[in-house]
Structure 1
Amino acid sequence: MQRYAVPWFLELKIGWTIIVGSLIAFFGAAFGSAGGVGAGGIFVPMLTLVIGFDAKSSAAISKCMIMGLSAATACFNLRQRHPTLNRPIIDYDLALIVQPMLLLGISIGVTLNVIFANWMVTILLIIAFLGTSTRSFFKGVEMWKKETIKKKESAQHVKSGGGGESSGGEINRSLLGGPSEPHKVSLAENVNWKQLWILVTVWLTFLAIQIVKDFTDTCSLAFWVLNLLQIPVAVGVTLYQAIKLIRRRRVADNLMEDTEDWEVRTPQLIFCALVSLLAGTLGGLLGLGGGFLLGPMFLEMGIIPQVSSATATFVMTFSASICAIEYYLLDRFPVPYATYLTVIAIVASIVGQYVVKKWIARAGRASLIVFILSTIIFASAILLGGEGIVDMIHKIKHNEYMGFEDLCSSGGDEELTRRLAF
């Protein structure tokens, strides 16, 4: 495996393609981090069509950028408090329900990606993206209307003298549901260390399984044993967290306390786990991180946009990092370019979080996050779908085979690692 003896930035060849690609990556990462999606649907077409990387390198570099984006956003959100409840903005309870099933689903999706023909993947991608972006957009419109009504009521209340002189910022904080002066705590107090440790343990377990799988033959006994081993890990952690939440909810109900941002009920937890599994499967199948489905799902559960965005990005940190590590071990991308573009994504995500947070606080509209989410998903559908259609037309013209592939064929190992979609 090649390693660079000189500083990575000396290996870069700066040209107009890198400059344009950097600008696209910056804005894609900034809005993607704010919306709670990884922006892989922006990164991959940019790397392929603008900079000119091949499909394998584009997928690998994109995952590195998503890892940097998600990690930087998660670090930013570790210090943030919930706008309405006295708790962190990252919902660790929800993350523990989502993360194991997401990782399991992605592993299933990667296998299906090898079996399915490219045109099938393209059609599924367009349907999934257009469906989720449309649903998210109408959710944002609904939220916008409610916020407009609240703004008018607050303005009328101030005008009538009911609240005295009140600044626009105080009105906006009221609209967002938060207190006038948010309670501030230290970073150590703002992190749920026990749940974070469980999440890291699950991440390490899945990472170890993926690494060991690289040394086994596809469809061998060891290959299937390692694949099946992921099921008890994911299901066990999800059941543990679900039972814990249900018991805690019963205690809260008896005490007439409202300590959750979403309704903790058995059907709700089952729905969350199944959609997470579906998000992972579609993410692995389509070569994405699953955030395009997690964000809309969180909104459907009634979770406010700020928490939805922070939690979705936090969960994607685990899935994207596994993929980036795997690609690095397989030497699938040029380290200098991946490092440079990852730094761009990190800086952009921090800027995006800061700017959007100020924007929302000033406008008093959390629905802006929902519109960013739907826009990113829709743009990804157009870009990735268009790229897939072009590839499909090329294969039709050259009479290439477009049917199902054999996972256990001689090229299965290479194809499986080539399409690795964590």
Structure 2
Amino acid sequence: MSDTLKFNALFIVGSLLIAIFSLMAAGAGIGGGVLFVGIFYLVLRYSSSLAVPLSNFAIFGGAIPIFFVNFRRKNPIVDKPLIDYDIALLAQPMTLAGTTIGVLANVLLPEWINEGLLFLMLVLISYRSTKKAISKYKSESLERKKEKEQKNVDEEEKQTTNSSNLDQKIDQIKDGNGKDEIEFEEIEDQNKDQQVNSHGSDPDFKTEDENLDTNETPNPKEKNKIKDQEKKEDETWIDVDLEHQNKETKKNSQNSEYQKEIEMIEKDEKKIGIKRIILFLIVWLITFLISLLKGGGSKKSLVGVEKCSAAFWTVTFISLPINILITLYVGRMMLNKAKLKDKINYPIVKGDVKWGKKIIIAFSLVCFLNGLVAGMLGAGAGTITSFILVEMKLNPEVLTATSALIVLLASSSTAIQYLLIGLVPYAKGFWFFGVTLICFPIGKLTLNYLVRKYKRAALILFTFAIAITVSAVLMCYNTIDALLHQSHKNKISQFCN
């Protein structure tokens, strides 16, 4: 395996395409692995066994700065981090368990099977994500239309109120003795004088007080009528205030009953917490240590485990029950919090997921499949997870940030596994690591700016849909090429020997 960089025209074009697709993948919240594999395979003409490990290195490089971009950002709706650490923690164990199996599947299965399965998956995701993006765009357009209509209504009400105030003023200065027309004309003169700001030099101008002084006193009946009206309005406002106070009292009494629980939930969601950090590290370290123990490729096991021996397969698969146990623990923790929120009627913010037992189990299984695809096909771990979170209607900004963390955890584990079994040439691996390290934050920050400027979160979903569609097209070509040039050698025998 050549480990030298040749900066010829083909290599430069391939690197530029990796940079361009990095910008797209960063905005979409996916690793971009399928895009990268297509470029490595079609443009740079690397074999599938080299393209997939290089893809994971490129994903790892881009995921690092994206995490730091998202880490300090806040949720656009409520006061908590943009990254949903509970979702990431639930996804990580099963995703990493999937990558362990996926790496082996990549080595053992024929290339056309790997790529054909990925193509079919991408077609489905492309179709569904495009529909979701269009639906989100229409929803945002409808909200904008309603806001505009409400603004127009508010302006009309304001004008009506001003007109009503003027009419009331006219009524108040009527004397009831045939001088209505004279007084109305005087008010019109006042308005004209105020508009041209010339009343100071107008000798005929009279203030409202002067008009009242020079005219006869108001009719007693009119006075009583005005007083009755004011009294009625005061009583109405008192009723409204009492009703509002009753609602607030009821709400406050309910909140005070569960004040401790509310504060506990808010405190838990405002930061990542030591418990979550420890669980993240445990899962990642288990996967990493297993890779060191089993070895592979040109790398020897630290404890002398021979490749394809009983001990090798035992060490390889021992992470599965451990990750399942951690997933059960995290799932139980999330389920208990969801039940507590239901009990105290804790508000579910638009764009959050309402977790239940079935949703937690289904999501965990999808994450295992996600890791399998990431390890086997070189796809970023965010591809399937992002798709499922889109289906679950998670807020698009939260979705991309959370997915990026999942990608970082999975890609770092997978890249190191490939490095340890000797499948990644250092020069090429770290070159593309550097390209994505620079381009990913540029793409992410650019899309964030556009979303804020145009107030269109649908842009994130459209970027995701476009990235997946391009990936499907590239993978279609890869699959056909693999079928035409497939090797009939026994890959299991090659791997073990």
Aligned to 2:322: 233
Offset of 1:162 from its aligned partner? 5.7
CA distance in 1, matches of 2:106, 2:388: 23
Offset of 1:298 from its aligned partner? 0.6
CA distance in 2, matches of 1:17, 1:281: 31
Corresponding residue SS for 1:160: helix
Pick aligned residue for 2:482 from 380, 391, 395: 391
CA distance in 1, matches of 2:100, 2:157: 58
Tell me whether 1:401 sits opposite 2:488 in the alignment. Answer: yes
Offset of 1:2 from its aligned partner? 11
Aligned to 2:194: none
Measured at CA, do residues 164 and 297 of structure 1 come closer, stay the same or move farther in structure 2, by a change above 3 Å? farther
Pick aligned residue for 2:335 from 232, 236, 246: 246
Pairing 1:165-184 to 2, within 5 Å after superposition? none
Aligned length: 376
Aligned to 1:56: 49
Offset of 1:205 from its aligned partner? 0.7
Aligned to 1:217: 306
Tell me whether 1:199 sits opposite 2:280 in the alignment. Answer: yes
Q: 2:315 corresponds to which letter in structure 1?
A: L
Tell me whether 1:372 sits opposite 2:463 in the alignment. Answer: yes
CA distance in 1, matches of 2:56, 2:113: 22
Offset of 1:316 from its aligned partner? 1.2
1:197-254 CA deviation, whole Å, 9 max, x = no partner? Answer: 3112210111111221112334422122213311222111111111111111222222
Instruction: Determine if contact 1:77/1:89 at 8 Å carries over to the other structure.
Output: yes
Aligned to 1:168: none
CA distance in 1, matches of 2:348, 2:72: 20
Offset of 1:379 from its aligned partner? 1.1
Structure whose alpha-carbon radius of gyration is higher: 2
Q: 1:158 corresponds to which letter in structure 2?
A: K
Offset of 1:364 from its aligned partner? 1.4
Deviates more, 1:63-72 or 1:16-25: 16-25
Measured at CA, do residues 326 and 164 of structure 1 come closer, stay the same or move farther in structure 2, by a change above 3 Å? farther
Offset of 1:367 from its aligned partner? 1.3
Measured at CA, do residues 388 and 309 of structure 1 come closer, stay the same or move farther in structure 2, by a change above 3 Å? same
Corresponding residue SS for 2:318: helix
- Identity across aligned pairs (percent)? 27
Q: 2:414 corresponds to which letter in structure 1?
A: C
Corresponding residue SS for 1:159: helix
CA distance in 2, matches of 1:217, 1:62: 28
Q: TM-score with structure 2 length normalisation?
A: 0.70
CA distance in 2, matches of 1:227, 1:375: 36
Offset of 1:285 from its aligned partner? 3.0
Unmatched 5+ stretches in structure 2: 159-269, 296-300
Measured at CA, do residues 300 and 163 of structure 1 come closer, stay the same or move farther in structure 2, by a change above 3 Å? farther
Q: 2:339 corresponds to which letter in structure 1?
A: R
Aligned to 1:412: 495
Pairing 1:250-265 to 2, within 5 Å after superposition? 250-258=339-347, 261-265=352-356
Q: 2:63 corresponds to which letter in structure 1?
A: S
Pick aligned residue for 1:160 from 128, 153, 156: 153
Instruction: Determine if contact 2:37/2:378 at 8 Å carries over to the other structure.
Output: no
CA distance in 2, matches of 1:217, 1:164: 82
Corresponding residue SS for 1:31: helix
CA distance in 2, matches of 1:124, 1:99: 23
Aligned to 1:295: 386
Offset of 1:64 from its aligned partner? 1.3
Pick aligned residue for 2:415 from 318, 324, 328: 324
Pick aligned residue for 1:24 from 17, 20, 38: 17
Tell me whether 1:266 sits opposite 2:357 in the alignment. Answer: yes
Offset of 1:49 from its aligned partner? 3.0
Offset of 1:301 from its aligned partner? 1.4
Q: 2:97 corresponds to which letter in structure 1?
A: L
Q: 1:65 corresponds to which letter in structure 2?
A: A
Aligned to 1:88: 81
Instruction: Determine if contact 2:35/2:474 at 8 Å carries over to the other structure.
Output: yes
Aligned to 1:183: none
The CA RMSD over aligned residues, in Å, is: 2.6
Offset of 1:52 from its aligned partner? 4.1
Deviates more, 1:108-117 or 1:365-374: 108-117
1:396-417 CA deviation, whole Å, 9 max, x = no partner? Answer: xxxx528xx564x3x2236xxx
CA distance in 1, matches of 2:68, 2:156: 37
Offset of 1:288 from its aligned partner? 2.1
Corresponding residue SS for 2:306: coil
Aligned to 2:92: 99
Instruction: Determine if contact 2:22/2:32 at 8 Å carries over to the other structure.
Output: yes
CA distance in 2, matches of 1:122, 1:333: 20
1:261-320 CA deviation, whole Å, 9 max, x = no partner? Answer: 201111110111111112222333323233211111011112111111111110111111
Offset of 1:12 from its aligned partner? 4.8
Measured at CA, do residues 380 and 2 of structure 1 come closer, stay the same or move farther in structure 2, by a change above 3 Å? closer
Deviates more, 1:36-45 or 1:69-78: 36-45
Corresponding residue SS for 2:291: helix
CA distance in 1, matches of 2:84, 2:155: 35
Pick aligned residue for 2:101 from 108, 113, 135: 108
Q: 1:159 corresponds to which letter in structure 2?
A: N
CA distance in 2, matches of 1:162, 1:254: 42
Instruction: Determine if contact 1:92/1:192 at 8 Å carries over to the other structure.
Output: no
Corresponding residue SS for 2:280: helix
Measured at CA, do residues 163 and 316 of structure 1 come closer, stay the same or move farther in structure 2, by a change above 3 Å? farther
Aligned to 1:339: 430
Measured at CA, do residues 115 and 328 of structure 1 come closer, stay the same or move farther in structure 2, by a change above 3 Å? closer
Measured at CA, do residues 2 and 146 of structure 1 come closer, stay the same or move farther in structure 2, by a change above 3 Å? closer
Offset of 1:361 from its aligned partner? 1.0
Offset of 1:111 from its aligned partner? 3.2
1:124-179 CA deviation, whole Å, 9 max, x = no partner? Answer: 111101001111110111111111100111122223336999xxxxxxxxxxxxxx
CA distance in 2, matches of 1:61, 1:28: 15
Unmatched 5+ stretches in structure 1: 4-10, 166-188, 415-422
Instruction: Determine if contact 2:99/2:414 at 8 Å carries over to the other structure.
Output: no
Q: TM-score with structure 1 length normalisation?
A: 0.82
CA distance in 1, matches of 2:156, 2:473: 48
